[in-house]
Amino acid sequence: MLEKGAVSLKKQHILHSIDKSLKRLQTDVIDLYWAHKDDPETPLEESLSAFSSLIDSGKVRAIGASNYSGARLSEALRVSSRLHLARYEGLEPHYNLVNRKEYETDLEPVALAEGLAVTPYFSLAMGFLTGKYRSEADLVKSPRGGGVKQYLTPEGLGVIARLEEIAREKGSKPGAVAIAYLAARNSITSSDRKRNQPGAAC
C-alpha cells in the first residue's frame, strides 16, 4: 500500500512503497495491487512499467484501478497492450443506487468490453441505503455521518422510499435490495467491498 494520502503513481514511489506494503501485510506477495487514484501528472507508461516490474519480481500477482474515468482507463489498457506491460485486471468504482450515472454510462462499457473484474466501493452509500438516515439529525448515529450527508437529497430519499417498497414486497431489507441490484448487473464481480488481501496504491 502506498503511503496514505499520497496520490503519486510515479515509478519510484510505487517501487518504494511495495516493500512497506508487504511488511505491513506480513506476506511475500499481494494478490491484487490497486492504483487507488489516477495520477494525471505521471505518464501511464511509467506507472504501468513499475507495476509490471512488481509482477515480474513475484511481489504482486495482478493490478487494479480505482477512481479512474472511462477514458483514462481505456487509455491505460491501450498502453498496456501496445507496450506489453501489465494491464489493469480489476476496477473499483464508487457505485451504488444513488451514485449510478458515472459507472453505468462511462465505466461499465469499458469493464464489459475488457473483461475487468469489478468490485464497487460504498455499495450501501456509507450506510445510507440501509434506510437509517432520513435527516441531518440522523447523521450523529455514526462516525460516517459527515460522508452520508451528500446522499440526503430529494433523489436520495426517493431511492430509499423505493427500496423500502421493494423490500416489503420481497420480505427483505432496503440494504439487501440495494446490494442485490448491484450483484444482478453482468459487469459486477463482487459488491461487498472486500479488499482485505490486496494492497492499495494511491
pLDDT tier, 141 (very low <50, low <70, confident <90, very high otherwise): confident
- Residue 99 clears pLDDT 80, i.e. is over it: yes
> Angle at Cα 99 formed by Cα 88 and Cα 149, nearest 5°?
125
Higher pLDDT, 16 or 48: 48
The stretch 122-150 carries a mean pLDDT of 89
Please state which of the ranges 35-39, 179-183, 197-201 shows the lowest mean pLDDT.
197-201
- pTM, entire model: 0.86
Give the residue with greater pLDDT, 194 vs 120: 120
3-state secondary structure of 201: strand
> From CA 83, how far away is CA 17, in angstroms rounded?
24
Cα 2 versus chain centre, distance = 16
Q: What is the mean pLDDT of residues 103-118?
A: 97
156-176 pLDDT tens trace = 999 999 999 999 999 999 999
**Starting from the edge strand earliest in sequence, which strands make up the sheet with 60-66, in order?**
117-118, 88-92, 60-66, 30-35, 199-201
pLDDT of residue 196: 38
Q: Hey, what CATH class is 11-201 in?
A: alpha beta
Sign for the pseudo-dihedral over CA of 45, 33, 182, 40: negative
C-alpha cell at 74: 481505456
- Residue predicted with more confidence, 193 or 184: 184
